[in-house]
Amino acid sequence: MISIEAKPYIFEFKPNSTALVIIDMQRDFVLPGGFGQSLGNDVSPLRLIVPKIEALLGMWRSLGACVVHTRESHLPDLSDCPPSKLKRGNPKLSIGDLGPMGRLLVRGEYGCDIIDELRPLPSEIVIDKPGKGAFFQTSLMEQLTHRGITHLIFTGVTTEVCVQTSMREANDRGFECLVVDDATESYFPHFKAATLAMIVAQAGIVGWSASTQAIFNGFKGQQSE
Ligand code: C5J
């Protein structure tokens, strides 16, 4: 059992029943020229978390533990994209429009794929999701249940949108959830701070938060026991 210093209190998990979930680390959100920038955002802060996620990913891979990558993405004919989502925000470029990295948030396009540093291995779960939440219209629940996963450790972008939505969906489905506070990022620092605070409020109403270092300390503690 790994025990880590977390908010609002100690989080315990067994690696073989815990998935590392990496939400939407796609070029379209993290790099200039993508969907995130088309909405008027400065995407540069999002790249700063890449080393933290790489470190956690390296740890999970070394243990042979479960890794889930998600992509917010749509079919090329956009039949899985509700008109409300397509029109929302009046962006310069909408979902499906051609940008410098291909059609925005369309499956198979260069920009829609995960950044090189975090490229999934063939053995890892990749979930293409048409919504903000990772469970909506996907096979994630079945895939996690099949592997005996009970605990989820969340990273990725953006904290208050797809990370929080997915974590709330998971919490309602009975998973024990933790978000890694320095391995998730938002275009808006105050939204990130508020999201982390509301997740752990009321004795962990959605779950726990902890730093990458706290997770590594937990693994070190286990080795010395
Ligand atoms: C957004 C996401 N922010 N991955 N998507 O639209 O959080």
Q: Which of 129, 132, 181, 192 is catalytic?
A: 129
With 80 as the cut, is the pLDDT of residue 177 above it?
Answer: yes
Distance CA 151, CA 20 (A): 9
With 70 as the cut, is the pLDDT of residue 224 above it?
Answer: no
Residue 83: both structure tokens together: 């008109």
Distance CA 54, CA 72 (A): 20
Report, in angstroms and rounded to the nearest whole number, the Rg of the chain calculated over CA atoms: 17
Query: How do residues 24-43 score in pLDDT, each as one tens digit?
Result: 999 999 999 999 998 899 99
Q: Which of 66, 81, 112, 162 is catalytic?
A: 162
- Over the chain, what is the mean pLDDT? 96
Is residue 151 within 8 Å of 181, Cβ to Cβ? no
Q: What number does the ligand 1 atom closest to the CA of 72 have?
A: 4
Query: How do residues 43-102 score in pLDDT, each as one tens digit?
Result: 999 999 999 999 999 999 999 999 999 999 999 999 999 999 988 877 778 999 999 999
pLDDT of residue 183: 98
Which amino acid would we find at residue 9? Answer: Y
Average pLDDT on 184-210 reads 98
DSSP state of 65: -
Distance CA 177, CA 182 (A): 16
DSSP-assigned letters across all residues of 163-222: IHHHHHHHHHTT-EEEEEEEEEE-SSHHHHHHHHHHHHHHHHSS-EEE-HHHHHHHHHHH
With 90 as the cut, is the pLDDT of residue 225 above it?
Answer: no
Q: Ligand 1: does its nearest atom lie under 6 Å from the Cβ of 187?
A: no
Q: How confident is the model at residue 223 (pLDDT cuts 50, 70, 90)?
A: low
pLDDT of residue 90: 72
Strand 125-129 to 151-157 pairing: unpaired
- Of the chain, the end-to-end C-alpha distance in Å amounts to 11
Q: Ligand 1: does its nearest atom lie under 6 Å from the Cβ of 29?
A: yes
Which amino acid would we find at residue 176? Answer: E
Cα of 224 to ligand 1 centre, how many Å?
A: 40
Distance CA 94, CA 96 (A): 6
Q: Which residues contact 61 (CB under 8 A, 6 or more apart)?
A: 67, 121
Distance CA 28, CA 158 (A): 12
